[in-house]
Structure 1
């Protein structure tokens, strides 16, 4: 059982009012992350990964976006009830946004962009903030930090921009760092360096990390817990061994079967056929029913209940329910 979790998401739902109706982007989500640990949220595009973290950061734009139910408990406090200008978000919780090529303002120097937040949240003087920025650039492996602070984003490579964005998020010494697809725009060599950097930062600072990605291979090394999302729901949660060696949900099994391996024979990749459900009108039963080769009649009509397989391994699937075992 998790002791003193840093962040707990309970029965969270996030919806958006658009021209065609209401999109149920996140549906009754439950997640937990411990202090000093890494939680990876994986799943294909549109499954609700980024929306979940935007809800944690208070970035759901009203009135089109809203949270009809749920709690987000950070260090014992429900932050869904806080005012937008509270000091927790951006201070104790920081976020690295997608695509370092566009995350930085091309008209401002790196130093100007790095010190803005910490001067607001920590009330530091400009010189103290610049000293802090220099320290953070050194932490993420950028040489000559004083010189780099006066340069502009176009003077850096993609990998170095990613390191700068990470350094910006660390400026306020956050307890929780959310990284949204931090390796997507990078080649595999730089991806490995960025992931190693996250490990180094966690060891040195003790920060908890939520890593959002669509690639299970990216999180194989650094994640303590992996949550697999599909159609706005968390359909399987477990540690690395549970997810990679004992996956129980057909969707998780499909994701793993679609990852290329060095020992894999030619043309042996198995894509997941079909398309995710329409979240304007989610299915009554399991969201994966239409794509699942193991689907039963009950899967179409009734939503599955959460099955607890071990202390860390849970699955939202009728195949693991004791009431259907005789039919599997």
Structure 2
């Protein structure tokens, strides 16, 4: 498969009054053409900061990429100037932001907002941009696009606003679409419609999607591959089947145990404790304090990456061949 994006050893820091926050600490992953990669984890684990880094949206001077590469189209996005990033942002790589309620300008019509990118980047005339804008409104399921084109955001429901935001992100036909918690503010019925829309659009356009979420239910429906993120690091990566049926990292298992399942009765099992302080991140595995299987080496040394099979990778000392418990203990305690 063709790689469209490669992130290697990405580090992002923020300077605050309380000190330096190490928000992203050595994240690496690849995105392939036409696939959906889900990045999952608790709030504050660095998911959104990773996506903002790809888009060149880290607020300066307090935030900065201190190390790493973001390879796209033969260029390192981490080193590009703002003028060059503007030529890529919204054209080759687009982003759907978390809250559809605030993603749209309330003082400008939907039509003006959806065609702005076309006229700016593709230099289309106003009439040509309008034709394409109406086409994309119809594609994302907005009824009566001719009428809706002239209306303002407050005249739409939350679900319809999210569809409009998706149309705006796709209208310049990007290679990559980053969706940051795209269904968080929506009810269950609308959420299902938006996920169906993602599948239809990907089938029609072949766009590669990075889905940022903490909702494992959403991940199960749309993801091809999953990267599990914790305390600024990716701790496990694999196919949807690898993660849901053969999870190896204790944190991944904890996430799965904390969500309701129709085939099991009883109480949900939360992950005890809290994530580590990223002002002073731990030297070893960041999950050590919350892990039932932690060993002495976990405190002192960050675990090396272990290849399980195919694309299934995990950073956990339990999976290292030198560990006393090894794979059998991890398998025995597997959620599935």
Q: Normalization by structure 1: what TM-score? A: 0.97
Question: How far apart, CA to CA, are the structure 1 residues paired with 2:264 and 2:103?
Answer: 37
Contact 2:318 2:325 in 1 (8 A): no
The match for 1:44 among 42, 45, 64 is: 42
5+ unaligned residues in a row in structure 1: which ranges? none
Name the structure 1 match of 2:181. Answer: 181
What is the Cα deviation at residue 264 of structure 1? 2.6
SS at match of 2:270: coil
SS at match of 2:254: helix
Name the structure 2 match of 1:222. Answer: 222
Name the structure 2 match of 1:31. Answer: 29
Question: How far apart, CA to CA, are the structure 1 residues paired with 2:223 and 2:170?
Answer: 19
Cα displacement string for residues 18-47 of structure 1 (whole angstroms, at most 9, x for unaligned residues): 111110000000011100110000001000
What is the Cα deviation at residue 217 of structure 1? 1.1
Question: How far apart, CA to CA, are the structure 1 residues paired with 2:97 and 2:47?
Answer: 13
Name the structure 1 match of 2:311. Answer: 312
Cα displacement string for residues 248-289 of structure 1 (whole angstroms, at most 9, x for unaligned residues): 0000000000111122324x2000010000000000100001
Cα displacement string for residues 42-100 of structure 1 (whole angstroms, at most 9, x for unaligned residues): 00100000000000000011111111100000132211121112211221000000111
Q: Kindly report structure 1 stretches of 4+ aligned residues shifted beyond 6 Å.
A: none
Contact 1:5 1:75 in 2 (8 A): no
Question: How far apart, CA to CA, are the structure 1 residues paired with 2:171 and 2:99?
Answer: 19
**How is 1:99-178 mapped onto 2 (pairs within 5 angstroms)?**
99-178=99-178
Cα displacement string for residues 100-128 of structure 1 (whole angstroms, at most 9, x for unaligned residues): 11111111110111111221111111111
SS at match of 1:303: coil
SS at match of 2:129: helix
SS at match of 2:322: helix
Equivalenced residue count is 325
Question: How far apart, CA to CA, are the structure 1 residues paired with 2:198 and 2:82?
Answer: 28
Name the structure 1 match of 2:295. Answer: 296
What is the Cα deviation at residue 156 of structure 1? 0.7
Question: How far apart, CA to CA, are the structure 1 residues paired with 2:28 and 2:136?
Answer: 33
Name the structure 2 match of 1:283. Answer: 282
Cα displacement string for residues 105-161 of structure 1 (whole angstroms, at most 9, x for unaligned residues): 111110111111221111111111111111111110111111111001111111111
Name the structure 1 match of 2:254. Answer: 254
What is the Cα deviation at residue 326 of structure 1? 4.7
Question: How far apart, CA to CA, are the structure 2 residues paired with 1:238 and 1:81?
Answer: 29
Question: How far apart, CA to CA, are the structure 1 residues paired with 2:325 and 2:51?
Answer: 39
CA RMSD of aligned residues (A): 1.0
More displaced stretch, 79-88 vs 131-140: 79-88
Question: How far apart, CA to CA, are the structure 1 residues paired with 2:73 and 2:198?
Answer: 22
**Distance change in 2, residues 1:280/1:113 (3 Å):** same
Question: How far apart, CA to CA, are the structure 1 residues paired with 2:137 and 2:324?
Answer: 55
Question: How far apart, CA to CA, are the structure 1 residues paired with 2:314 and 2:256?
Answer: 16
Name the structure 1 match of 2:193. Answer: 193
5+ unaligned residues in a row in structure 2: which ranges? 330-336
Contact 1:7 1:33 in 2 (8 A): yes
Q: Normalization by structure 2: what TM-score? A: 0.95
Contact 1:96 1:166 in 2 (8 A): yes
**Quick check: 1:236 aligned with 2:241?**
no
Question: How far apart, CA to CA, are the structure 2 residues paired with 1:168 and 1:130?
Answer: 12
Question: How far apart, CA to CA, are the structure 2 residues paired with 1:325 and 1:312?
Answer: 25
Question: How far apart, CA to CA, are the structure 2 residues paired with 1:156 and 1:261?
Answer: 34
**Quick check: 1:271 aligned with 2:247?**
no
